[in-house]
Structure 1
Amino acid sequence: MLISEELLKEYGAETEVFDSSYVIFSEGDKPKNYYQIVEGRIKLNNYNEEGKELIFAILEKGLSVCELLLFIDKTYPVNAITFEKCTVLKLPKAQFEKLLDDHPKISRDMNKFLSERLYYKYIMLDNNSSLRPSVRIKGALDYYKSYNENAKKFEYEIPLTRQQLASLTALRVETVIRTVKELEKENFLKIINRKIFV
C-alpha cells in the first residue's frame, strides 16, 4: 500500500466502488483527485489513430493511479478504466498536497516510487523499440514483476492476458502466443493453467 488507508481517510479520502469497465477519468480530463486501489485492477490506456487500444499500465491493489499528474498542470494523456469491480480511495488534490506537506517521509516515499516507475518505463520503452518480439515481451514481463521484486523465479503471476500483453507491446496476439511458448522453452517463464509466471 503506497499510503495507508487510515491516513488517507484521516485527510478526507472517500471509498468509491466502480463496476467493471467504469471510466474513472478520460484522456484530456484535468487531474483533481488522488486515487489508490483497495481492490481490483485498473488499466491506463488510449487509442491510436486507427482505433487500436494501447495499454500503458495495469494497476493492482495498493497502487495509485496517475498520481504524478497531481504535481504538474497538465491533463491526463490516458484513460483509467476498471477491469473488474474495483474499490478505490479518492482524495481531493488539495488534501493530498496537505498530507504530503504534513508527512515528509510519505512525500519522499512517493518520490522514490515515482522514480522507480519512471526507471522501468524507460526500460520498457527501450524494449518496445526492438524489432524482436521476445525482447518486447521480456521487457513487459520484467516491468510487471518489478512491482513484486521479492518474488522468487516462477512465483509471480503476470496479471495480463495474451491480448493485454499484445496491447502493451504493440504486437499481434498470435505473435505473443508463439513467443510466450518459446520463452517457456528457454526457461524464462512458466505457463501454469494458461497463466504466465516469471
Structure 2
Amino acid sequence: MLIEENLLLSYGAQLENFKPSHIIFEESSVPKYYYQIVKGRIKLNHYNEDGKELILAILNKGLSVCELLLFIDETYPVNAIAFEETTVLKLSKSSFVKLLDENQEISRDINKFLSERLYQKYIMLENNTSLRPDIRIKGALNYQKSFSDDESKFSFEVPLTRQQIASITALRVETVIRTIKKLEKEDFLKIINRKIYI
C-alpha cells in the first residue's frame, strides 16, 4: 500500500465504490484528486484514431492512479476505468499536497514509487519497439509484475487476457497465443487453468 488508509482518511479522503466499466476519469480531464485502490482493479487505457483500445496498465489494490499528474499542470493522457467492482480512497489535490508537505517520508515513498514506474515504463516501451513478439510480450508481462512485491518465479498471476496483451503490445491475438505457448516451453511463464503466471 502506497499510503496508509488511516492517514489518507485523516486528511479528508472519501471512500468511493465503482461498478465494472465505470469511468473514474477521462482523457483530457483535469486532475483534481489522488486515487488509491482499496479493493478491485483499475485499467488505464487510450483509444487510437481508429477507435482501437490500447491498455497501458492494470492497477491493483494498494496502488495509486496517475498520481504523477498532481505535480504538473497537464490533463490526463489516459482514461481510468474500473476493471471490476472497485473501491478507492479519493483525496483532493490540495489535501494531497498538504499530506506530502507534512509527511516527508511519504513524499520520499511517492518519489521512489514514481521512479520505479518510470523505469519499468521505459523498459516496456523499449521492448514494444522490437519486431519480435516474444520481446514485446515479455516487456508487457514484466511491467505488470513490477507492481507486485513478490519477485519469485511464477508467483504473479497476470491480470490480462490474451486480447488485452494484444492491445498492450499492438500484436494480433493469434500471435500472442502462439508466442505465449512458445514462452511457456522456454520456461519464462507458466499457464495454469488458462491463467498466465510469471
Deviation at 1:155, TM superposition (A): 1.6
Alignment of 1:75-154 (within 5 A): 75-154=75-154
Q: How high is the sequence identity, in percent, across the aligned residues?
A: 71
Opposite residue 187 of structure 2, the aligned amino acid is N
Which blocks of at least 5 consecutive residues in structure 1 are unaligned?
none
Aligned to 1:148, the other structure's residue is in SS state coil
Deviation at 1:151, TM superposition (A): 3.4
Task: Tell me the TM-score normalized by structure 2.
Answer: 0.98
Opposite residue 115 of structure 2, the aligned amino acid is S
Partner residue, 1:196:
196
Matches of 1:113 and 1:92, distance apart in 2: 20
Matches of 2:98 and 2:32, distance apart in 1: 14
Opposite residue 134 of structure 1, the aligned amino acid is D
Query: How many equivalent pairs are there?
Result: 198
Aligned to 2:20, the other structure's residue is in SS state coil
Task: Tell me the TM-score normalized by structure 1.
Answer: 0.98
Partner residue, 2:24:
24
What are the superposed Cα offsets for residues 60-91 of structure 1, whole Å, 9 maximum, x if unpaired? 00000000000000000100001111000000
Partner residue, 2:64:
64
Opposite residue 197 of structure 2, the aligned amino acid is F
Aligned to 2:146, the other structure's residue is in SS state helix
Partner residue, 2:173:
173
Which blocks of at least 5 consecutive residues in structure 2 are unaligned?
none
Deviation at 1:150, TM superposition (A): 2.6
Question: Does residue 74 of structure 1 match 2:74?
Answer: yes
